[in-house]
Structure 1
Amino acid sequence: MAAAAAVSILLVLIGPLIQTADAQVGVCYGRNGNNLPSEQQVVSLYQSNGIGRMRIYDPDQAALQALKGSNIELILDVPNDSLQSLATDASQWVQSNVAPFASDVNFRYISVGNEVEPSDSNAQYVLPAMQNVRTALNALNLGEIPVSTAIKFDLLGTTYPPSAGSFSSSAAPYITPIINFLNSNGAPLLANIYPYFSYVDNSQSIDINYALFTSPGTVVTDSGNGLQYQNLFDAMVDSLYAALSGVGGQNVAVVVSESGWPSDGGTAATVDNASTYIKNLINHVKGGTPRKSGGLETYLFAMFDENQKPAGVEQHFGLFNPDGTPKYQISFN
């Protein structure tokens, strides 16, 4: 009890060290740790730092209770292990996890599955589950909540130049019907975009400054349309926009549902690099990309380091330490 109280006091005393001056930016709240603050303390930490959007990866009842009345906009995930059952009927899931909270929790999107690979056995269930969640929400007069899914960037087979972006031959049959669903329902596609991993996998050809938003000038001029790119994040997002257009999704918006940089555990994983990436990303997404100007809704990954994830970089994406102290300060002033 004393330890919990100390954390509570600390969260209040920390104050607004992270401020989201732009409402486009949220933070993902992963809970794969055995040393994290309580759900109510986490909501208080979001509020005290002016973070107005959150993503959670399952319908944790304590988190949903803590969010009541907070005005924090929420992406709520359907976990991958629930896809098969929801592909048959989603009414009970929606009645248990959305309806009781809908008057007090601001649901921004329901993400039906996260990073499901086309080769995964769950892939066949994603679209039917999305359709059933949509039907269940409509039946409860909650149809204003958009239904989507979150994809990995590696569903793209071609990414360079960005204007040539396209889904791989193995991913296209999986993702195209999903894009059609999003298009017909006016919902965005959620995409997890990590320049860090692209850099690490291609460090011989990608300069780290291009990945960290610190290149002094244009690095890539798109031979297809002449657009100029000074950072890898923009190039990745715009290649996804191009891929969407290639399958009839030119009117489908992109929401970056995860992006971050680890502070330890692997190549180029340092506190300085993580701080640089996050600060630059927050400021950058206010202006969109060369292909799509305007704000780009983006969710930083993640609120905390998660010590129960696989050893290595996966444990070190947090903006905050588990005791609520910031790993590095981020100023938007």
Structure 2
Amino acid sequence: MAQRSKRSIVAVALLLGGLLASLPLGSKISLMVDVAIEDLEKLASDPSCASEWIKNFILDFPDVSFRHEITGPDVNHILPAVENIYNALSLAGLNNQIKVSTVIQFGVVGTSYPPSAGAFLNDTLEKASRENVPVVVTETGWPSDGGLDASVANAKTYIENLIQNVKTGTPNRPGLLETYIFAMFNENQKPPGVEQYWGLFRPNESPVYSVNFDGN
């Protein structure tokens, strides 16, 4: 099993894949939950739908630790949906425990290659003098099978290099960078190909490869 430390867990977490034949129980990990894009419009237009969503996907799972709720990326509905979800969490007394946010699509990056030259477009947060807004990398990973350059060796190298880098952040945002690895489990009900093989573990909980979460 992967080795973990308290220091590294602050910066690195794991995303559960959604299409599995089975999932293990009682892992005591913290999760990030997102809203299905087809639900955004009704969540944005009806606060009662947001309350029902919170009940069905959070309150009905009292033994699960949720860290973030992610709403998006449909720009027509993001703001009212976020407001309704936040208000529903507040009514449930969870607004300080579960943070509500949204995702940013890769299109906001004006320069993406090489990565060291990455720059956002002029209308993004930093250009708007909002550089102190917390940013979380909501998913990143590498497939271990199913396509070109998808291999266990490449996946292991990518994840371990990622862990090294999130400890120090970037030149523009030094310090621990909260990052979610996609994904914890291979998703054996997805279509054949790389989509099935992003997990650190197989659905039967056996590791696809070992990972040193200490970053040493």
For the superposition of Structure 1 and Structure 2, which TM-score range results when normalised by the shorter chain? 0.7 to 0.9
Equivalent of 1:38 in 23, 36, 45: 23
SS of the counterpart of 2:104? strand
Looking at structure 2, the residues matched to 26 and 164 of structure 1 have their Cα atoms a distance apart, in angstroms, of: 25
Counterpart AA for 1:106? S
Contact 2:187/2:196 (8 A) holds in 1: yes
Residues in 1 aligned to 2:191 and 2:132: alpha-carbon distance in whole angstroms: 37
Matched residue SS, 1:245: coil
C-alpha separation in 1, matches of 2:37 and 2:198:
22
**Distance in 1, Cα, partners of 2:20 & 2:210:** 22
Distance 2:198 2:64 in 1: 26
Distance 1:303 1:106, change over 3 A: closer
Task: List aligned pairs for 1:230-245, cutoff 5 A.
Answer: 243-245=124-126
Counterparts of 1:33 and 1:164, CA distance in 2:
36
Structure 1, residues 75-98: CA drift from partner, whole Å, max 9, x if none? 121221211111122122223433
1:151 to 92, 104, 122: 104
TM-score (norm 1): 0.56
Matches within 5 A, 1:113-262: 113=72, 116=73, 122-144=74-96, 145-159=98-112, 162=117, 164-166=119-121, 243-262=124-143
Give, in whole Å, the separation in 2 of the partners of 1:166 and 1:256. 18
User: What is the alpha-carbon root mean square deviation over aligned residues?
Assistant: 2.3
Q: Is the 8 A contact 2:32 2:69 kept in 1?
A: yes
Cα displacement (A) at 1:166: 1.1
Q: CA deviation at 1:163?
A: 6.4
The answer as to 2:51 corresponding to 1:94 is no
Give 1 or 2: higher helix fraction.
1
Q: Could you say what secondary structure the match of 2:34 adopts? A: strand
Task: Confirm or deny: 8 A CA contact 1:159 1:166 kept in the other structure.
Answer: no
SS in 1 for 2:162: helix
**Unpaired segments of 5 or more residues in structure 1?**
1-16, 45-69, 117-121, 173-242
Larger radius of gyration: 1
Query: Which secondary structure state, in structure 2, belongs to the residue aligned with residue 300 of structure 1?
Result: strand
Aligned length: 205
Among all aligned residue pairs of Structure 1 and Structure 2, give the percentage whose two residues are the same amino acid: 44
Equivalent residues of 2:110, 2:119 under 8 A apart: no
Among candidates 278, 285, 292, match of residue 166 of structure 2: 285
